[in-house]
Structure 1
């Protein structure tokens, strides 16, 4: 593994949080492979998902990032302590993540905060390192989880 690989992979996974918080959907799209595996079952239950990056960032798909994030007033995702392992054109990166989600609502605190770890699978492509898979492992939660549910409902109503 070269230092350039390590730096580029670290930059890619950190940019994911940066772009998400700024709702930079084109920037996010550029960080992923065309097909993406996501596993948030530790947080939401259900099953891991596989689909296109466009489905992940859709305004209408159930469980899509954009559908939920567009309904929030603000978020801040801090992705830190990135550890990288490279094997040829494949890489794994693990990182701590702290996500703060804000939405004023009539049913409790406007904040929902979650801490945990990400495990990323990345592929080297002609355009550079791209995220192919994300698994989230929860460590702790604080606040009002209704913030995310209300944001998803508001975004879905707006998209309809």
Structure 2
């Protein structure tokens, strides 16, 4: 369960070295529930993609109802996630949030490493349009920062 908490904490703190250290060389990502990536990618690529969160003023990925199952060198951790993303647009502070479930697949070597992450969505408390709007704004700002 500590790995799931470390995942959410590193995202919110923008601690990319600590975030990357949670994975082996590659990871299977399924964020298709929010119209994002569903693929096997290098962990470096996944870390780089998550840096989009730098465009937000703040994020809060709160986990609850954690459950873990271990079978030998394989484990799965499931958690409810309440993920809030805040960004300013002129005078307005916007929030896009979702409530859903993370499912982490772990493999044990010298340590437990994340080999898969799936995000499913239960709902969007502020509405899907608000969620999509803040992410579109963040993508634009991140691209502008990356090209500057």
Judge same fold: TM > 0.5, yes or no.
yes
1:67-126 per-residue CA deviation (whole Å, 9 max, x = no partner) reads: x20110000001121111111101111110010000011597611110000111100021
1:39-86 per-residue CA deviation (whole Å, 9 max, x = no partner) reads: 0111216x612111110111xxxxx111x2011000000112111111
TM-score by length of 2: 0.90
Give the conservation status (yes or no) of the 8 Å contact 1:105–1:147: no
Quote the residue 2:18 is aligned against: 27
Give the conservation status (yes or no) of the 8 Å contact 1:14–1:80: no
Q: Which has the higher strand share?
A: 2
Quote the residue 1:65 is aligned against: 50
Q: How many angstroms apart in 2 are the aligned matches of 1:149 and 1:39?
A: 19
Alignment of 1:38 onto 2:38: no
Q: How many angstroms apart in 1 are the aligned matches of 2:139 and 2:80?
A: 25
State which of 105, 123, 127 in structure 2 corresponds to 1:140. 123
Q: How many angstroms apart in 1 are the aligned matches of 2:92 and 2:100?
A: 23
Residue 104 of structure 1: SS of its match in structure 2? strand
Quote the residue 1:119 is aligned against: 103
Residue 86 of structure 1: SS of its match in structure 2? strand
| Alignment length (residue pairs) | 143
Q: How many angstroms apart in 1 are the aligned matches of 2:94 and 2:31?
A: 22
**Runs of 4+ displaced beyond 4 Å:** 106-109
Aligned residues: CA RMSD: 1.6
Judged with a 3 Å threshold, the aligned counterparts in structure 2 of structure 1 residues 107 and 33 are, in CA distance, closer, same or farther, namely farther
Q: Which runs of 5+ in 2 are unaligned?
A: none
TM-score by length of 1: 0.84
C-alpha deviation, 1:142, in angstroms: 2.7
Residue 142 of structure 1: SS of its match in structure 2? coil
Quote the residue 2:82 is aligned against: 98
